[in-house]
Chain A
Amino acid sequence: MKFERRDFGKLRHGALRAAVLLAVAIAALAWTTIDERKARTERNAALAAKNSIEQKLGQIRADEPDIRRRIEQFRAMDDAGIVGPERRLDWTEQLRDLQRELRLPGMTYEFGPQTALDGAPASGYAYHASNLKVRLRLLHEGDLLNFLDRLQREAKAMVLVRNCRMARLPSGDAGADGARLSAECSMEWVTLSQPSARKKP
């Protein structure tokens, strides 16, 4: 069969009708496909959200005693002054009070700049530490132990003693204050704070 030019005219209406039907078919299919995908995506999102909250609920039910214990622990840390920005003024006053109360003949100290503990997260609460180097003149070794013990119990930070060096004073250095020993300790004053709190001057 050979096509002639006039045959295309005869086929025009048929082709047009077929094209219209095809377009309607494609449009219907496209619309329903998009609608189905959207509905499926919404269902998947709803399922994920439901599973997530279900998991969180199960977790919090299981962890409720643990969470309460941790909250109490956190509040105890807060009460002890560990939570929040460093209170260096309080710290220095505390050091002087201790020197006076323990009748330590001599004390010099130096707080280093605050640094982040390893493993600090990008957001939320994080531990930071300031290094303290303190030099003491002691009447006897018990003064050092009392000093460290009271610092750990009373300081408004978590105090981690890193090292201590205690030595006899040379006989020439023992002055009128009666000191017989010298001590030099390094310790970390650890606090817990949020990024917003750390930015405060």
Chain B
Amino acid sequence: MITRRLLYLDSQRLSAWLWRQGKLTGEGSFENRREDLARFADYLSTHPGSQFQLLVNVGEEGHQLETIPFLQGKDRAALITRKLGQNFLGTPLATAISLGYEKSKRKNEKLLLTALTNPGHLEPWLACIRETDTALAGCYNLAQLGGPLLKKLGQPPARALLLTYQDHSIRESFLVDGQAHFSRMTPLPDSSIAGIASRFASEAVKLHQYLSGQRLIGRGEKLPVHVVVHPQALSAVRQACVDTPSLGFQIIDSHAAAKRLDLKNPSEDISAEQLFLHLLAVAPPRQQLAPEAWRHDYRIAQIRTGMWSAGAMILLASALFSIKLTWEAQDFREQTSALTSSETELNWRYREIVATFPKVGTDHDNLRRVTEQADQLRKQQRLPNGALRSLSQSLSEAPNVHLDQVVWTLGERKAGTGGSAKGAPRLDAVGETVTFDGQVRLGPASTARQALATFEHFVDLLRVDREVEVTVDKQPLEIESGRTLRGADLDDEQSQPRQFSVHVSRKLTP
């Protein structure tokens, strides 16, 4: 947590304040003397982690309205620097506040230039600040806080006068839209309540006349005058400050204002400086007067704070994300525990069922595979009985047909092997084939035509079974055009048996 400290510099002395949670605590008062400056340097050294804001209430100040052409970037900055130099004789404690742009075609920018015109008065104090590497957040004059004060108190008129009393002087400010277009400090030789009250009344009239003379207000224009006073001085000020055609007084109780600003310990004396200091702590103006070089250590402190804040933010984000991950991990572990116990129970049930099965020395998948293969093999466990029985029936009806050789093969017939299968059996044999060679034997007087007719009758008998496919490989007499037909003497030809070869295939049914 950054500790915020405030320095209040008037024409005589500098006072130091600690601001914490709406409370202001005085920590010392220093005059512009060597020993006090050393004491001030010691004070600063004892608070290296604090950030300081300097509020100045001196008479040497300037407020100037300027109009510049519409510019941006470096050109605008250069022109403003030049204007500040021209108006305030090169004081480094100056700033420009933009009041907006004219609505004319050229869009000229209106500026309020504000400066502390006697930097020498601040120099001893600023030297101590620089030497002790103190973080100076900003330098402000009292007039800059007039507008914010009225705004916080809920009384922000477009144009008004604000009069306050602090360190034996009256601060008089002419405020336009919250900005001090003019301000001055009037020393007060008589600090009695009656003296202050009468001086408020007279200074208000003088300021109105001055502003009118400077043509900052219209002749006879009525302005509200806000006067901040201690409760003890309320009645005296009300008696002294009587409304006139050009001035309408509004007296503000400083303690009521402190309460409204949330200042926890308002001053018991009649001064209003603590109101401004508190306001500076809670709502500092955007513009300040110190050049950037004087705020070097403040920037360093900002970087340091930024690094610390970034680290803290990352740690916080990491902590939050870690909590989320930890919660998720815990959730996963609970799920794992539930799943594991469920799996154990299911496994136990599974084993219970498996235990009821007779032991066969293999797992169920292997068992299923080998038994399915066994079923396939069983389907191929065939014998030639059926095929030979069918052949036998055909032969019994064709007595002149004689067989020499029968070859039965399970599976497809292979050319030139007579159906002999090599190697291991396939599991997917789907048919059987029978090849048989034989002769047609008729009497000596039979003719070739009779032999062919007998053979064809035999083949027709084989084809009675519609599930078989009968192929004639060799006929008793080769009468096809594509084959060689040989003959001899009639006796020789008729005495030779007529050789034939037939192939029968059948698809197996499961």
Contacts and interface: CB of A to CB of B under 8 A. Distances in A.
Interface of A: 1, 7, 10-11, 13-15, 17-22, 24-26, 28-29, 31-33, 35-36, 38-40, 42-43, 46-47, 49-50, 53-54, 56-57, 60-61, 63-64, 66-68, 70-71, 73-75, 77-78, 82, 115-119, 121, 124-127, 129, 131, 141, 145, 148-149, 152, 158-168, 186, 188, 190, 192, 194
Contacts, number: 245
B353 interface: yes
A20 B312 CA distance: 10
Given A57-B353, A145-B384, A165-B408, 10 more contacts: A28-B315, A28-B318, A50-B339, A50-B342, A71-B367, A118-B426, A118-B427, A121-B369, A124-B366, A194-B361
Interface string B162-203: 000000000000000000000000000000000000000000
Contact of A163 (B296, B370, B381, B410): B410
A71 B357 contact: yes
A161 B343 contact: no
Contact of B325 (A32, A54, A163): A32
B427 A29 contact: no
A26 B62 CA distance: 54
B425 A53 contact: no
Interface string B346-383: 11011001100110111110111111011001101111
Contacts of A117: 373, 424-425, 427
Contact of A60 (B322, B364, B369, B406): B364
B211 interface: no
Nearest to B437: A167
B322 A28 contact: yes
Contact of A1 (B299, B381, B411): B299
A163 B367 contact: no
A50 B343 contact: yes
Top-10 shortest CB links A-B: A21-B311, A14-B304, A25-B318, A18-B311, A39-B332, A46-B339, A167-B405, A163-B409, A39-B329, A18-B307
A70 B371 contact: yes
Contacts of B329: 32, 35-36, 38-40
Interface string B48-77: 000000000000000000000000000000
A141 B388 contact: yes
A118 B349 contact: no
B370 A127 contact: yes
A32 B322 CA distance: 6
Contacts of A40: 328-329, 332
B133 interface: yes
Contacts of B411: 162
Contact of B326 (A20, A35, A162): A35
B303 A57 contact: no
Interface of B: 133, 292, 296-297, 299-300, 303-305, 307-308, 310-312, 314-315, 317-319, 321-322, 325-326, 328-330, 332-333, 335-336, 339-340, 342-343, 346-347, 349-350, 353-354, 357-358, 360-364, 366-371, 373-374, 377-378, 380-385, 388, 403-411, 418-421, 423-427
Contacts of A14: 303-305, 307-308
A1 B384 CA distance: 109
Contacts of A82: 374
B153 to A, nearest CB: 37
B340 A166 contact: no
Contacts of A22: 311, 314-315
A60 B354 contact: yes
Given A53-B350, A63-B364, A1 B296 contact: yes
Determine the main DSSP class of A at the interface with B: helix
B377 A67 contact: no
A142 B408 CA distance: 15
Contact of A74 (B307, B370, B383, B407): B370
Contact of B404 (A33, A60, A167): A167
B318 to A, nearest CB: 3
A168 B406 CA distance: 9
Contacts of B336: 39, 42-43, 46
A100 to B, nearest CB: 21
A74 B383 CA distance: 23
A86 to B, nearest CB: 14
B353 A61 contact: yes
B408 A164 contact: yes
Contacts of B339: 43, 46-47, 49-50
Contacts of A29: 318, 321-322, 325
A63 B336 CA distance: 29
A21 B314 contact: yes
Contact of B312 (A21, A53, A163, A186): A21
Contact of B405 (A13, A42, A43, A168): A168
A119 B373 contact: yes
Contacts of B407: 163-166
A158 B381 contact: yes
Contacts of B404: 167-168
Contact of B425 (A31, A33, A160): A160
A118 B377 CA distance: 12
Nearest to A126: B370
A14 B335 CA distance: 44
Nearest to A7: B300
A117 to B, nearest CB: 6
A28 B368 contact: no
B385 to A, nearest CB: 5
A1 B408 CA distance: 107
